């Protein structure tokens, strides 16, 4: 299977909630452990909703 024929999921704004909440990041651009947990959960939820397993 080539990259051209492989399905790709585009998931916008995954980091928005983390970057807008100072409790989820130690600095202005990096998430902390809680922030990465939020990102992972959002990715899982959105991929599942899109039909990915």
Question: Apex CA 14: angle with CA 22 and CA 7, to 5°?
Answer: 165
In a domain, residue 11? The reply is no
Q: How far apart are the two ends of the chain, measured CA to CA in Å? A: 19
In a domain, residue 7? The reply is no
pLDDT tens, position by position, 1-46? 555 677 788 888 999 999 999 999 999 999 999 999 999 999 999 9
Domain range holding 33? 16-49
Our count of domains for the chain comes to 1
pTM for the structure as a whole = 0.78
In a domain, residue 44? The reply is yes
């Amino acid at each position: 299977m080539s990259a051209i024929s492989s399905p790709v999921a585009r998931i916008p704004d995954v980091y928005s909630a983390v970057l807008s909440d100072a409790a989820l990041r130690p600095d202005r651009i990096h998430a902390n452990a809680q922030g990465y947990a939020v990102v992972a959960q959002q990715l899982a939820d959105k991929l599942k909703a899109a039909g990915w397993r």
